Structure 1
Amino acid sequence: MPVDQYYLLGRSGLRVSRLALGTMNFGTGGFHAAYGKTEDEARPLLRRYLDSGGNFLDTADFYTAGESESILGKLIAEAGARDRVVLTTKFTNSVDPGDPNAGGNGRKHMIRAVEASLRRLRTDYIDLFLLHTWDRITPVEEVLRTFDDLTRAGKIRYAGLSDVPGWYAARAQTYAEAHSLVPLVSLQLPYSLVERTIELEHVAMAQNLGLGITAWSPLGGGFLTGKYRQGEQGLAGAGRLSTAGSPGRSWTDREWRLLRTLENVADKLGVTMAQVAVNWVATQPGVASAIIGASSTDQLDANLAALDFDLPSEVRADLDEASATPPPSVYRMFTPDYQGWLVNPGAKVGDKPAGYAPAVRNWLPESTESRG
């Protein structure tokens, strides 16, 4: 099963599974309580993932009000798997609404968050520590220097970002490189056939600056599983994405056409719609790992099998076309068609060796070329 194939995360030597296990549903408290799992319900999910060869675990101090970390730490200890797993947790969200420094990305909260996560996770180090979301106020320099201090202190092994603007991630990595601080290795972002916004900037930025993308919600919050259909009142089907459960969210004709294309592809390949959706994300450029979750071992087994097949090029092209959206505003200027017209209409393009951008050849006026 390909879950026991490991890829380097970003520009690092850290080897991670192509499918990570998300544990946002471990626990029954806090914001995620509606679909949380007790310790006994979570245990077989973690065991099945580990037995399949998976080593990449994702949680956050915010998930189920800290229960996710506590349950995960206990279950990892039970399995005797601490040394072989890559344990990821995140900080930013407030743990005490009455304390202005109990949330955000400032140094005070970062250090407190690390110490609290270490206690809940029953470990003395975190493999990958992520800023959970941009707080819009903390200077990036403060975040990077604190990451560096935590790494040098042995509290964390690697650092990364989650849910930040492209410019912020670029600024952070460039600052780390310029000041000889520990570099960032990971960038966690939402990515799916129904949500491809990160392709506008984040993917190319991550590839150029050595950040391995870990994609969350590869199933579009469940929309791509196939259990929802277009009804007279909007979304039809039982689940968290029902109209009552997600007020204000509307689904466009484009998204319903995408769902039909996804269903046709799944039928053609003899797999599930969810497996196709996860496979597409996990094999996209710049993506190091896709984060999957599950409410049962059967569902986990199905998700783990998402990389047991290849997407033929013509099938991938169908999915790409069905899920594509026209680039907005200035991004239209960066498309191949526009660039070809802008730089040189009718230019012949030849490829340089791998690692270089295509070179435009034979575009100078004949009189200029003749002068060598």
Structure 2
Amino acid sequence: MHVRSVGATGLKVSRLGLGTMTWGRDTDEHEARDQLIAFAEAGGTLVDTAAGYGDGASEELVGSLIGDVVARDEIVVATKAGISRRTGTRVTDASRGNLLATLDGSLKRLGVDHVDLWQVHTWVDDAPLEETLSALDTAVSSGRASYVGVSNYAGWQTAQAATWQRAVPGRAPLASTQMEYSLLNRSVEDEVVPAAQALGLGLLPWSPLGRGVLTGKYRGGTPADSRAASSHFAGFVNAYLGPRSQRIVEAVAKAAEGLGWTPLEVALAWVRDRPGVTAPIVGARTAAQLRGALGAEELTLPEELVTALDDVSAPGGSEGGE
């Protein structure tokens, strides 16, 4: 698998990342093992998790496979802090104390002495930005994280945070920003992408397949084994099942048919090669699905199809957000 630098840093990752949001909850240890084996065998290195995924279950499962399925120095471990659901509801806390305590918990669950990339999971209005960012400085200076980044920050938030970190020597510069980005949601192109490119941040798109909708699996209804059929993902996916999304999905399917590709390969290749993108994060339900995504590695969309997909998906308001 080809590798790319994360922004203006020396950190290099595979240009496709493995997402583990469902690990430990919907994805059991056997399926997770098969996915990681397939990913590593394809040359993938970037494994993305978060303390808030399954209340730490994802990190525990990832940690159980490090050293068993893949050597620690053969993968880039990325995790996030700032979102918790331990109380049963979504709670955000980007205070210095909570972030560092969460990082220590992540290291324990992962069974490692440091993570390669540590990210603030979301912007939190009631946490002073300088306090949040000081936690990133401490993580790097203490050796608990090699690089740091942010996630789900708007354009001005991204620019403010990145500029703050660059303002004084000794602070840990931001390496990356993780945002939703796909043919169904191109809102990051307005402000986030320009800010990231200007300030040296690599973009790690989440849900690059439009929450699974761009694979075409929902063209004829909702499969019983799909995420849209599950209680905790139904609303997440249904936001992208409207008329606009249907038009884009049909265009992707038509392009795939003409190329002899799958719709998944078309959608993934499109976002992977957008300006500023380092590596889309792909979360698969099964190893077979993941292998389908890995098949896009050697594919490049013809320029005329890129233009056609750009036109049909031109931003005019997305049908959903996180």
User: TM-score, normalized by length of structure 1?
Assistant: 0.79
Gaps of 5+ in 1: 29-35, 329-372
Matches within 5 A, 1:2-151: 4-28=1-25, 36-94=26-84, 96-97=86-87, 104-151=93-140
- Match for 2:167: what amino acid? A
Report SS of the residue matched to 1:60. Answer: coil
Q: Show CA shifts across 1:298-357 (max 9, x none).
A: 2111100113221111111111111113489xxxxxxxxxxxxxxxxxxxxxxxxxxxxx
Report SS of the residue matched to 2:278. Answer: strand
Structure 2 residue aligned with 1:32: none
Please say if 1:202 is aligned against 2:189. no
Structure having greater relative contact order (Cα 8 Å, sep ≥ 6):
2
Q: Show CA shifts across 1:148-167 (max 9, x none).
A: 11101101110000001111
Q: Show CA shifts across 1:56-112 (max 9, x none).
A: 0000011112111011011012135111211000011136549xxx95000110110
Matches within 5 A, 1:226-241: 226-229=216-219, 236-238=222-224, 239-241=226-228
Change (3 A) 1:162 1:250: closer
Q: Show CA shifts across 1:192-224 (max 9, x none).
A: 001111111001110000000000001111111
Report SS of the residue matched to 1:78. Answer: coil
Contact 2:92 2:124 in 1 (8 A): no
Shift of residue 39, structure 1, vs aligned partner:
1.1
Structure 1 residue aligned with 2:215: 225
Tell me, in whole angstroms, the C-alpha distance in 2 between the residues paired with 1:268 and 1:204. Answer: 33
- Match for 1:89: what amino acid? T
- Match for 2:142: what amino acid? A
Structure 2 residue aligned with 1:325: 315
Tell me, in whole angstroms, the C-alpha distance in 2 between the residues paired with 1:97 and 1:219. Answer: 30
Among candidates 183, 191, 198, match of residue 193 of structure 1: 183
User: TM-score, normalized by length of structure 2?
Assistant: 0.91
Contact 1:221 1:241 in 2 (8 A): no
Q: Show CA shifts across 1:16-49 (max 9, x none).
A: 0100000112102xxxxxxx12112211111111
Please say if 1:263 is aligned against 2:262. no
Please say if 1:280 is aligned against 2:267. no
Contact 2:55 2:86 in 1 (8 A): no
Contact 1:240 1:246 in 2 (8 A): no
Q: Considering only CA atoms, is the larger Rg found in Structure 1 or Structure 2? A: 1
Change (3 A) 1:291 1:250: closer
Report SS of the residue matched to 1:185. Answer: strand
Contact 2:78 2:115 in 1 (8 A): yes
Please say if 1:305 is aligned against 2:295. yes
- Match for 1:23: what amino acid? T
Contact 2:213 2:240 in 1 (8 A): no
How many percent identity over aligned positions?
39
- Match for 1:219: what amino acid? L
Contact 1:125 1:157 in 2 (8 A): yes
Gaps of 5+ in 2: none
Report SS of the residue matched to 1:306. Answer: coil
Shift of residue 122, structure 1, vs aligned partner:
0.2
Q: Show CA shifts across 1:212-269 (max 9, x none).
A: 0000001111111111126xxxx55442235983287374433222111111100011
Contact 2:24 2:57 in 1 (8 A): yes
Report SS of the residue matched to 2:301. Answer: coil
- Match for 1:241: what amino acid? A
Instruction: Identify the range of structure 1 (237-246 vs 111-120) with the bigger mean alpha-carbon deviation.
Output: 237-246
Contact 1:229 1:237 in 2 (8 A): no
